[in-house]
Each structure stands twice: as structure tokens, then as C-alpha cells.
Structure 1
Amino acid sequence: MQQPVTAFIDYLRYEKQHSPHTLSAYQRDLARVMQQATVRDIQEWEKITEKQLKYWLGLWHEDGLSSRSLQRLISSLRRFYQYLLTRGVVSNNPAQLLRAPKTGRPLPVTLDADQVNNLLDDQYGQADGDPLKCRDLAILELFYSSGLRLAELAALNVDSFSDGFSQVRVLGKRSKERVVPVGSKARQAVQHWLTFRELFVRGESDSALFLSKQGKRISTRQIQNRIKEFAREAGMSVGVHPHMLRHSFASHLLESSGDLRSIQELLGHSDISTTQIYTHLDFQHLAAVYDKAHPRAKKKD
């Protein structure tokens, strides 16, 4: 059963150009199904039925797999079987009608504007004399200024910027390119980092914008760790991660502008329904303001 899976992953990698993260998710989901099939001595994808898949979903749910993970697994199976159908490996798609238990979508966790300012502004003095702190500050400023994904920021090159560093060209999911604005604070932080960057170049000049101490493009894991450490040193009481800064960017922009469509473009969402999660977050904020401010919002004892 492994050969069709390998061919499918290669198809997603080379023809559809999916990210390593997405490929890994598909592999985990399909490996989970193969494990169940092996236990039951099933050797071909054609032999798996819808009834069996429903039973296995129930087992995984009892074992604690979340509804969201089950939904992703079903989606992986549907697409995989559709791939097998087009190549004549199977004659039907047993995952087509599967449904996972419904689950509420959790609201993203964000920082408020004061927390962002405390995180960033207090570190500028230290960054002046510390090249790595300067690099980390530029990374944080870019996350919050332009709403970048972790992989997008890690992939930036020195020549990704244009118009005096006021715009940055980003390669998003499925190699979809977009150009987003860069705020003045982020521009200054990036330009300051570039004055130190040459200290880390090893051998041939690397095109990567952000380099590690070893002179290599900084990895996504390194970025996550450095942001966590940066926030700890800044005295933050909450754990800060790249997506929290992206969420904060979107939430604060929506709160100020109310322009959901523009935020969709800036975030690189293909479907506006993905962006609409921030309208719930914005309403939550408005409701909190209402409860505090309205004379008759709460009952008095």
C-alpha cells in the first residue's frame, strides 16, 4: 500500500508544490489508515470500504483524536482516493461521504496593542549593540507589520524588498506570490539588521535575508525559539509565537479599518471565510468594551 502513497506525495510535492508541512500532514494521515489496514490484513487501498473507515474514525475519536484532526484526515483520504481514481488504481472513493463530528473553531489568540509595544519598543536599546538581537527585532517587526506566515518570513531574500523597503514580495502557500506593505518601524529594523548581516555570511554570499550564527538561512524552528526567548527577556507573561503576531496584525487592522477584503489580500487567504474568524474576534473585543462602558450592560446588586 505504500507505493501509491509515495507516488501521491511526489505528485503533491512536484506538481502541486505543496509545503513540507502539508506533505507531512498527508503522510501522517495516510500512515494512520495503513496501520489499521495492516492490522486487518488488508493489502490494497481498493479493499477498504466506507463502513471500515467509519469504524476506524470511531476508534480514533475514542482514543482522543480531535474532531479537527479527524476532519483533516477525511480530507486527506478524499483527495488521495480521488488521485487513485484518476489513475485507475481504485474504482470508487470510500471517503467521499465520510463526516467527522462538528467542532467549534477556536478563536485565535492575539496580543493587544500595548503588549506589542511593550514587546518591541523596550528592546531597541539592546538591539543596538547585539547583532542577533537586532536580527530578532527585525523578524518580530516584520511579522507584526506585514502579517507574514512563519515559512514566508524564513524564505525571504535580501532582494525580496522594493520601493525603498516599503514593500516585500512574499511566496505564500502553493507558491502564490503577493506583495504586502512594510511599516516604517519594520523598514528601519530590517535596514539596521542589514548593517550587521555581512558579519554572518560564510563563503559565497547567501541571498537569505535572515542568517543564523553559522551563516545559513535561519530555520523556522530557530525563529520560533528566538521569538520565545525574545518575549521572555521582554518580560511578557504570555508565550509569544509567530502566528500570534500574524493574528495580532489582522485583528488590529480589522479593528481600525473594518476592511475584511483587504485583510484577506494582505494575509494571502484564498477564501474570505478563513479571514472571517477575525470578525468574531473583533466582535468579542467590542462586546467587552460594551460590558465595561454601557451603564445598563450589567445588573447591579
Structure 2
Amino acid sequence: MANGEAGAGPDVLERHAELLHAYSRHLGAERGRSVHTRRAYLGDVRHLLTFAAERGIHEVADLRIGDLRSWLGVQADAGAARATIARRAASARTFLKWAEHTGRIPTDPSLRLVAPKRRATLPGVLRQAEAIELLDLAATRADDEDPIHVRDRAVLELLYASGIRVGELAALDIDDLDLAQGVVRVMGKGAKERIVPFGAPAGRAVEAWLAVRSRLVGQHSGAALFLGRRGRRVDARQVRSAVHELLSHLPDAPDLGPHGLRHSAATHLLEGGADLRMVQEILGHASLATTQIYTHVSVDRLRRSYEQAHPRA
């Protein structure tokens, strides 16, 4: 089973089409999950149902804890990352809890399902000097008045200044910005709205973009803040391409995407003395524990600097 959906895959997925559709509606309407999250959850459930069908289990109600453990065990033996196994275990628990709650199965077999904990990995970040060099390069490129270069400068400045996610940035409308106050209204995960501040350099870059935005406006532009070359709302892929392309001109900097700018913003805020809960609010983290990983990044940097500088480190 190379991809987890061979053999019995098409038949079992067709058999459970109504169930999967109902679960997708639940994730979207009742739990407020994004399209991306729903796709990931449903992919994990399809993987589980296909695995079960290949072992003669065709009804969700017939799943047992041993089947779930075998499903995760096969993935672990195949070399799946701990994070992947942990996510799939969480997806199975969410699905089976919903199935029990809605009367589709009599009992939830996943109550005692334990998956390996994700390892807390330190995110890659730019040093403050590298971030400034990157933004200076973007500003220099924007001097040619190509609206795409002006846009890219504004995108990078706003990503680094606010720490928002690339998907949140792409979804921004013009009215979400308050340039006078230096804040942006963001719709985050779980349809939770938050207000995020940004600094004067980002504000000036966005103003410069708004001055040339009309050169790209088309019939599909709407109120989108950032546009692509054809006048449609910019997408995450275009933003990632811009970040990678600009970073390629800084040979000593790590090759990060937009999420790397978010990590960098959070780390530099904490290095500058920002309160952890304030950073949590800016990033839109539901749990403070998620934000605390950036304290590890800062301590890791402190340790490296100490070892380089102290004669008896």
C-alpha cells in the first residue's frame, strides 16, 4: 500500500461518501475549520477507512482500538514522521468522537489511542541584520516602479512587521488596513478575528503599493489588498515565490518562506523584550505553549553567542 489509498480505496471511499460529506460540513459549519484544514482532516480519515477496508473492516462501527493502533504502527514502520502520525491520530480521534456524538457509531474506539508526541522543533529564523538586509533589498527593487516589485516590498514589510500568516495576508482587503493607526484586522484560524499592529516602514511600503495598485486592477480584483500580475487576489504561492526569490540574493541567510518571516518577527519581538502573552495575541495562537517555542529560539541564540564569545564557554 504505497500511498494508503490503493486497492480498496475507490470502493470504500464511494461507500462512505455521504459520511465524509457530512463530516466535512461539520468541520466547516460547526468547528469553523479552514478549507486547508478540512482537506487535511478528510485526507487522514480516507487513509484510515482505506486501511480498514483492506483488512476486511467495511463499517466505521466495527473499528476497534487495535485497528487504530495497527494503522499508526504501519505508518511508523514505513518511516512516517512523528508529526504526521500525531496529526493522523488526532484526526481519527476528532472524526470518531463526532461519529459517536451524531449516533453513527455506538462507541468511540479512539478514547485510549495514544500517538507519539510531536518533537518541538526550533523554527528557522533570520537574524535581525538579515531581516533588515532583506527589506532593504526589496525597497531597492521597488525603486524601478514595477508594481509587482512595489507589491513585494509591501508584502515582505507587512509579513515581518505583523507576523501574520501568509494565508491571512492573501485574504486581506483594503478596508482591513488602518494606516493612520498602524493596525490591520486579520481573520485567523477558527474564524477568529484579531487586530495586529505594524510599524511605520510597513505603513509607508503599503502606501506606496496602494499608489500603484490601480495599474494591476482588473474585473476580478474586488477589494483585495494585494493583487497578482493579472489583477486577481494574490495567492500564497505567489508570496512564497517572492520571498524565496529575494532571499536567494542573500547568500548567508537561510532559505525561508513567508512562515519564516513570521517566526523571525516573533523571535525578534521577544529578543527586544516583548511580553510572551502580547506575542501570543499578535500571532493569534490559541495556546501560550505554542508561542513559547520562540523563547527556545532566543535562548538557543543566546547560548551560541555565549559559546562564541566567552573564553571558558
TM-score by length of 2: 0.91
Aligned counterparts of 2:286 and 2:236: Cα–Cα separation in 1: 23
Task: Output one character per residue of 1:149-181: Cα deviation in whole Å (capped at 9) or x when no partner.
Answer: 011100111111125161111110011011011
Q: Secondary structure at the match of 1:257?
A: coil
Residue 278 of structure 1 and its aligned partner are, at CA, apart by: 0.7
Q: Which residue of 2 aligns with 1:290?
A: 306
Q: 2:230 aligns with which of 186, 209, 214?
A: 214
Query: For the residues of structure 2 that align with 1:267 and 1:253, how far apart are their CA atoms?
Result: 11
The one of 140, 143, 147 aligned to 1:125: 140
Q: Secondary structure at the match of 2:46?
A: helix
- 1:147–1:30: structure 2 CA closer, same or farther, 3 Å change rule? same
2:170 equivalent in structure 1: 154
Residue in structure 1 matched with residue 283 of structure 2 by the alignment: 267
Partner of 2:263: 247
Instruction: Point out where structure 2 has 5 or more consecutive residues left out of the alignment.
Output: 1-15
**Structure 2 CA distance for aligned equivalents of residues 236 and 242 of structure 1:** 18
Equivalent residues of 2:168, 2:186 under 8 A apart: yes
Question: Alignment partner for residue 53 of structure 1, among 41, 49, 68?
Answer: 68
For 1:290 and 1:123, how far apart are their aligned partners in 2?
A: 32
Question: Which residue of 71, 80, 92 maps to 1:65?
Answer: 80
8 Å Cα contact 1:46-1:90 kept in structure 2: yes
Listed as ranges, the gaps of 5+ residues in structure 1 are none
Once the two structures are superposed, the pairs formed by residues 34-49 of structure 1 within 5 Å of their partners are 34-49=49-64
Taking the aligned partners of 2:116 and 2:286, their CA distance within structure 1 comes to 25
Q: 2 CA distance for matches of 1:178 and 1:98? A: 35
User: TM-score by structure 1 length?
Assistant: 0.94
Q: Is the 8 A contact 2:221 2:231 kept in 1?
A: no
One-letter code aligned to 2:96? Y
Identify the match of residue 38 of structure 2 among 23, 39, 51.
Answer: 23
1:132 partner letter: I
Which segment drifts farther, 137-146 or 222-231?
Answer: 222-231
Residue 96 of structure 2 corresponds to residue 81 of structure 1:
yes
- 103 and 10 in structure 1: CA distance in 2 versus 1, 3 angstrom threshold: closer
Q: Alignment partner of 1:229: what SS?
A: helix
1:204–1:87 distance in 2 versus 1, CA, 3 Å: closer
Task: Decide whether aligned partners of structure 1 residues 262 and 238 sit closer, same or farther in structure 2, where only a CA change above 3 A counts.
Answer: same
Aligned length: 297
Task: Return the offset for 1:103.
Answer: 4.4
Q: How far apart are 1:16 and its partner, in Å? A: 2.1
1:75 shift after superposition: 0.8
Give, in whole Å, the separation in 1 of the partners of 2:279 and 2:307.
27
Task: Kindly indicate whether residue 300 of structure 2 is the aligned counterpart of residue 281 of structure 1.
Answer: no
- Alignment partner of 1:97 is 2:124: no
User: RMSD in angstroms over aligned alpha carbons?
Assistant: 1.5
Secondary structure at the aligned position of 1:122 is classed as helix
Letter in 2 for 1:36: F
Tell me the distance in 1 between the aligned counterparts of 2:122 and 2:312. Answer: 27
1:113 maps to 128
Quick one: distance in 1 between partners of 2:223 and 2:154?
17
1:166 corresponding residue in structure 2: 182
> How far apart are residue 222 of structure 1 and its match?
1.5
Distance 1:259 1:93 in 2: 41
Distance in 2, matches of 1:235 and 1:283, equals: 25
Are the equivalent residues in 2 in contact too, given 1:147–1:267 (CA < 8 A)? yes
2:138 aligned partner, one-letter code: Q
Distance 1:204 1:249, change over 3 A: closer
Matched residue type, 2:287: D
| Gap change, CA 1:288 and 1:101, over 3 Å in 2 | same
